[in-house]
Structure 1
Amino acid sequence: MSTEPTAQEAAQTLAPADLAVDHTLSLLSGTLRFLLGITPVNADEERERFLAGDTDEPAFVYRDLETDPAVLAAQIDQIPVDDLQDETLHHLLGAKHRELALQVQMLASRGGTEFRELSAELYGAVDPELRSAADGLVARLDARSSRSGRVDAATFLAAAQEEIDRYREIDADVSIHAEVRDDVSGVLVEGDTLLISDRASIPENRVRPLIMHEVGTHLVTQVNGVGQPLKTLGTGLAGYDETQEGLAVLGEIAVGGLTPFRLRQLALRVLTVDRMLSGASFRESFDAMREIGVPERPAFTTTMRVYRAGGHTKDAMYLRGLLDILAHLREGGRLDRLFLGKFALHDLPHVRELDERGLLRPPRLTSHWLLDPGATERIEHAARTNDLTTLTQESA
């Protein structure tokens, strides 16, 4: 018989008032829908105008926010994080409280210069070491996009749903979904749902690695986090994005699906964020990519992602997060606890402490990319190598 604590038993070892703060932060974070709030609803239309030469600065439009940011800010202010009794929770939830406040400020300033400043504060800028790594990858990797066929939104949805159903065979109560939408761009996860643009066109050789990225990492850690007594592990502790994206790209590597084009794309995102923060216009950043051979549609998408809502620096985190995860592995770190929920690598010691105190439950799901026949060898090679280009697969 298992001696592991149930969620209820684990939760009883923490003060109810502390758990109330955690649950309140999780509820607010879950209703914020931050990514949807800063994703243009007219990206495809503006792309066609831009590529036709009708504009140098796309006029992006964003969906109406469900709740007034001023109301959200007032709700956040009412959460008594200073009264938390547990020292570890005080650190983790205090940081989450500050992050939520910044995100609400960002939503309130969509389209303005303040958004860019807040984004840099929240997600960081580009340091010289990261810039150098990105420059090296861009110079050494092939700019050509995939030569494989492409799949549409319905086909990708079917593949994603099949993967979700495999997890439901393990746990019938898994509450994750995938759907096609006409108001999103590309593919993204929001909460417990994989959102796919109805105009999505995805290279065939990117279908499985992208599913490992979105479903096998983002949705699996969401399920595992929601199953914890601390519900913010499901919606994400402060700064979780960088580690999540690094872990998700590692999942692409684990299944042999990181193509040269994809890795170069991650490096280009870093350089585009750096240009944006240095004052380059949308057109200037787009032209810089075209000059080195990036096809016009991927160049537009990369530029749009960085310049949306006034300037979003998050895209520099994919490469930075991967480098951090690889350094963690190189130093003898493990991956298992990173699947307990969504949190930043620098908070791993705090999560480990909570786990060792018996306050957390084992993960409900094990990501399928960890079980891929070649995963262990590929991950070990990734941790050892000083040359990221050796992680790519031309024919993946």
Structure 2
Amino acid sequence: MSARSRDRAGDGPPIAGLSTRDRAIDHELALLSGSLRFLLDVTPVNVEQARSEYLSSGELPEFAYRELEDDPEVLKQALQDIPIHLVEDTVLGTLLRTKHRELSLQIDMLAARDTEDFMPLSIELYGAITPGLRGSAEQILETVTDTESTSAGSLDARAFLARAQAEIGHYREQDPDIEVHAEIRDDVSGVMVSGDSLLIGPRSKVQKVRAEALLHHEVGTHLVTHVNGSIQPIKVLGSGLAGYDETQEGLAVLAEVASGGLTAFRLRQLASRVVTVHRMVTGATFTDAHEALVAEGVPASSAFTTTMRAFRAGGLTKDAVYLRGMLDLLDHLRHGGTLDALLLGKFSLKDLPLVSDLQARGVLEPARLTPRWLVDEDASARLGRAAALDDPREFVSA
């Protein structure tokens, strides 16, 4: 039965402080949100081939993308049919309406994939790069010049998959019923989370010095918050409320800080992403952006990855949120905030007061999983030192 039919039949008894109708509308929105493969659908499937051809010939890469599983027009109609205006709870209504608008924007982006219309929509979704953020990124690139040695070697896809499965096993000790998994996927480049899955490209190489931090980033943050959000009466907390990406990525980078794994190379990578997005938005070509990174000391292959991530699908500006999210969360800690509530699901720091209201009213369940990086005996000290620093360049040694 649809939420609209339930409206005609009556609200039903309150459940967890919310009416049945409100919960049904949330469920419909969460189902639609969870059906989107947004990041997968805007990421090329031929990254390694394009990298090889570009680095050998210098010719602009031609990226290929997955076929969309659903017609954006059908998705748009399905979204319009969800009766957000009928939500009675003021706080939930605010959260669901902003998510509804975000989904509409993402569907428009899928329809505009690999066209000139894509990047303006991306800027609307992820926000513009402020002078302050760009200044922090440029300062990092200018002054953090000593990066770690790669002599310790790297893990291939199968070795990292084994580490990831072992990490998921640690969380199954907290709750054996969690539904998350890791796999190697031929159509993926690098390492990424989509829904309840950690996806690893078959040609991925993870530096051993970075492996533990990457596990805390992907499994200990993205998968943990997916599990915690999925058990909530408000199901959109599992797929993510509007604007959750920035805080999620900021949390994931803080997981690297807390575990002592934010290396100089990684900090430069986050800064490189910001300046590359800025260069793209202000008119740089793919070649311009790639050459600028190489001139700043970024290895050509790594520079290709950063440039590809920015230029994919017509200009995806998401990569600017990693550094911005980390800096905003450190400011949150600096002013007495904590991270615990942010692990109840996927939502933005600006929505924390609304989520805290629901928590105080008994609407939300306690978190099912606690990140291992948060309970590490040295984690609080590392995060405290990082929050006390004014200069992002010092985070590596925090």
User: What's the TM-score once normalised by structure 1's chain length?
Assistant: 0.95
Tell me which of 268, 292, 299 is aligned to 1:295. Answer: 299
Q: Which residue of 1 aligns with 2:274?
A: 270
Q: 1:12 Cα shift?
A: 4.0
Q: Which residue of 2 aligns with 1:78?
A: 81
Q: Which residue of 2 aligns with 1:6?
A: none
Q: Is the 8 A contact 1:144 1:294 kept in 2?
A: no
Q: Which residue of 1 aligns with 2:322?
A: 318
Q: 1:146 Cα shift?
A: 4.2
Tell me which of 24, 28, 34 is aligned to 1:24. Answer: 28
Tell me which of 166, 183, 188 is aligned to 2:187. Answer: 183
Residue 267 of structure 1 aligns with an amino acid whose one-letter code is: A
Question: 1 CA distance for matches of 2:309 and 2:131?
Answer: 22
Q: Is the 8 A contact 2:276 2:307 kept in 1?
A: yes
Q: 1:389 Cα shift?
A: 2.1
Q: Which residue of 2 aligns with 1:68?
A: 71
Tell me which of 260, 264, 268 is aligned to 1:256. Answer: 260
Q: Which residue of 2 aligns with 1:4?
A: none
Q: Which residue of 1 aligns with 2:4?
A: none
Q: Is the 8 A contact 2:136 2:392 kept in 1?
A: no
SS at match of 1:195: strand
Q: 1:20 Cα shift?
A: 1.1
Tell me which of 102, 105, 110 is aligned to 1:102. Answer: 105
Is 1:132 aligned to residue 135 of structure 2?
Answer: yes
CA RMSD in angstroms comes to 1.3
Is 1:58 aligned to residue 61 of structure 2?
Answer: yes
Deviations 1:141-196 (A, max 9, x none): 12646423111000000001001011111101111110001101110000000000
Q: 1:373 Cα shift?
A: 2.2
Question: 2 CA distance for matches of 1:311 and 1:226?
Answer: 31
Q: Is the 8 A contact 2:148 2:263 kept in 1?
A: no
Q: Which residue of 1 aligns with 2:210?
A: 206
Q: 1:393 Cα shift?
A: 5.0
SS at match of 1:113: coil
Q: Is the 8 A contact 2:193 2:199 kept in 1?
A: yes
Tell me which of 102, 112, 121 is aligned to 2:115. Answer: 112
Is 1:90 aligned to residue 90 of structure 2?
Answer: no
Which 4+ runs in 1 deviate beyond 4 A? 143-146
Question: 2 CA distance for matches of 1:124 and 1:44?
Answer: 29
Residue 299 of structure 1 aligns with an amino acid whose one-letter code is: A
Structure 1 window deviating more from structure 2 (348-357 vs 146-155): it is: 146-155
Deviations 1:62-95 (A, max 9, x none): 0011111111011001111111101001110000
Q: Is the 8 A contact 1:143 1:294 kept in 2?
A: no
**Which ranges of structure 2 fall in alignment gaps of 5 or more residues?**
1-12
Structure 1 window deviating more from structure 2 (164-173 vs 136-145): it is: 136-145
Question: 2 CA distance for matches of 1:242 and 1:54?
Answer: 33
Q: Which residue of 1 aligns with 2:47?
A: 43
**Which ranges of structure 1 fall in alignment gaps of 5 or more residues?**
1-8
Deviations 1:31-63 (A, max 9, x none): 1010110110001000111001251x2110000
User: What's the TM-score once normalised by structure 2's chain length?
Assistant: 0.95
Residue 77 of structure 2 aligns with an amino acid whose one-letter code is: A
